[in-house]
Amino acid sequence: MERKRFIIDDSERMLFKVNRSVFVKPDIFEKELEVIFDKCWLYVGHASEVKRPGDFKTRHVGGRPIIFNKDSTGRVNAFLNTCPHRGATVCREREGNSKTFRCFYHAWTFNNQGSNVAIPGEDAYGPCFDKSHMSLYPVPRLEQYRGFYFLNFDAAAVSLHDYLAGAKEYLDLIDDQSSIGEMEIIQGTQEYDMKANWKLLVENSFDDYHVVPTHITYLDYLKDSGVEITLPKGLLMPAHGIGKSLGNGNAVIDNKTYRGRPIARWMPMYGEEAKAEIEEKRRELTERLGEEKAYRIAETNRNLVIFPNLVINDGSAITVRTFFPVSHNRMKVTAWALGPKEESETARALRLDSYLTFYGPGGFATPDDVEALEVAQQGYEAYKEVQWSDVSRGIHKEEQLNTDEVHLRTFWRRWNELMTGEKTTGTN
């Protein structure tokens, strides 16, 4: 890969810029696969997706086919979904419950602990053949925090606990929303592609600077639905929160919500019949967690990015979204809704309605964002002439607001460090 400067991080001049070649050059994409997706912790699934022994999900993580399962002993695993015999995908179902996985090509069979239990015509192999070495390969590392499972293809990687750093506080705020400590992925998966570089979705996922010009239709919808919201005369939403780095490239915007939260903050669009239950949930949170933490859960919302490609939007609903690059200008996106296991049918219906209204592929936000990122990708084809994007917003200030860009700079500093080995000294 051609050696060049990817970012300008100049604290003296208070400038931060990103070279647009990083969005369009295939050789940069190839190196990302090697130094980021082969080395960082990548989200694979939630504990609630494999509740019972035998439950499994298959998905692609970091360019590899994966079986994410709970085996008959109750252990959660992540196996590479490739037959050690001749490479075929072993499990071709999206999900299910099974004690075994059988490769359709030559019928090699494995139990749900990954061990090879049957090879047709095994006696045809020589004396040095060892069936125990022909089992499914587990990923080098699999660890979890509060039910969120991550894998790493680098056996020497730091622990997930250390990697998450300050992001653990925000995962705690999510998990503590359940009175019984059990959050669950709600049935149903959103899948869609974008003709854009994956890093554009990282930026977009916690960029509040674009909210008014890009999502004005949604803001009008909220106002028409009875939400007390003052739309700005200009194109900038008044700052209502902060942005901050959480370490290791992880970052967040933490806002005072201007929308309702079905978990504990009512607004007229939810209907009078939902008000009592939402208010009761607020009381439960206060009694269990204390006033301060209950306030954070009920009255604030968060867009959390766990480097490199996990986004958790804890707003009008909780969205867990991950995305992987297919090429330098295309990505595959997968998203799920998350909620407390014990919530009522009414509360669950409100949650899903909020989830689909804003975050769904046909909702108010996602189509806008897809369009914005795809036209940005098109514009970056002029990278040779217009070389730099400015990400300096708020760099001169001590307090970083949600409409500033310290959280974007956090991502880019870590990305640059992994790609070049050079660590810049900027903090804001």
Please name every residue paired with 331 in a beta bridge, in sequence order, or none if there are none. Answer: 194, 325
Mean local confidence (pLDDT), 317-322: 95
Of 32, 46, 83, 10, nearest in space to 199 by CA: 32
| DSSP secondary structure letters along 261-303 | BTTTB--GGG-GGGHHHHHHHHHHHHHHH-HHHHHHHHHEEEE
Q: Are 402 and 241 in contact (CB under 8 A)?
A: yes
Mean local confidence (pLDDT), 165-189: 96
Of 135, 103, 100, 107, nearest in space to 121 by CA: 107
Rounded to whole angstroms, how far apart are CA atoms 381 and 61?
A: 28
pLDDT reading at 220 higher than 90: no
pLDDT single digits (tens) 342-367: 999 988 998 888 888 878 788 888 88
Q: Are 104 and 92 in contact (CB under 8 A)?
A: yes
Rounded to whole angstroms, how far apart are CA atoms 145 and 107?
A: 36
Rounded to whole angstroms, how far apart are CA atoms 171 and 304?
A: 9
Global pTM value = 0.94
- The pLDDT of residue 214: 76
Mean local confidence (pLDDT), 421-426: 88
Give, in order, the Cα–Cα distances in Å from 275 to each of 272, 283, 288, 289, 294.
5, 13, 20, 21, 17
SS3 call for 348: helix
Give, in order, the Cα–Cα distances in Å from 339 to each of 95, 182, 186, 256, 322.
20, 9, 7, 20, 17
Rounded to whole angstroms, how far apart are CA atoms 145 and 167?
A: 11
β-strands 55-61, 64-70: how paired? Answer: antiparallel
Q: Which domains does the chain have, with CATH numbers?
A: 47-152 (2.102.10.10), 176-420 (3.90.380.10)
CA angle 405, 409, 411 (to 5 degrees): 120
pLDDT higher for 279 or 200? 200
Q: Are 330 and 195 in contact (CB under 8 A)?
A: yes
pLDDT reading at 335 higher than 80: yes
pLDDT single digits (tens) 285-308: 999 999 999 999 988 889 999 999
Rounded to whole angstroms, how far apart are CA atoms 48 and 185?
A: 6
Rounded to whole angstroms, how far apart are CA atoms 110 and 107?
A: 10
Rounded to whole angstroms, how far apart are CA atoms 120 and 118?
A: 7
Of 365, 58, 35, 402, nearest in space to 215 by CA: 365
Mean pLDDT of the chain: 92
Q: Are 322 and 287 in contact (CB under 8 A)?
A: no
Of 70, 55, 102, 61, nearest in space to 83 by CA: 102
User: Confidence class of residue 1 from pLDDT cuts 50, 70 and 90?
Assistant: very low
pLDDT single digits (tens) 53-94: 999 999 999 999 999 999 999 999 999 999 999 999 999 999
Rounded to whole angstroms, how far apart are CA atoms 157 and 355?
A: 34
pLDDT higher for 157 or 269? 157
Give, in order, the Cα–Cα distances in Å from 241 to each of 265, 278, 385, 401.
17, 24, 36, 6
Rounded to whole angstroms, how far apart are CA atoms 191 and 218?
A: 22
Please name every residue paired with 339 in a beta bridge, in sequence order, or none if there are none. Answer: 184
- Examine residue 268 and say whether the peptide bond preceding it is cis (omega within 30 degrees of 0): no
- Examine residue 308 and say whether the peptide bond preceding it is cis (omega within 30 degrees of 0): yes
Rounded to whole angstroms, how far apart are CA atoms 245 and 411?
A: 9
What value does the CA radius of gyration of the chain take, rounded to a whole number of Å? 23
Q: How many residues does the chain have?
A: 428
Rounded to whole angstroms, how far apart are CA atoms 94 and 67?
A: 9
- The pLDDT of residue 237: 62
Rounded to whole angstroms, how far apart are CA atoms 226 and 189?
A: 30
User: Confidence class of residue 232 from pLDDT cuts 50, 70 and 90?
Assistant: low
Give Cα 345 to chain centroid, integer Å: 26
pLDDT single digits (tens) 13-45: 999 999 999 999 999 999 999 999 999 999 999
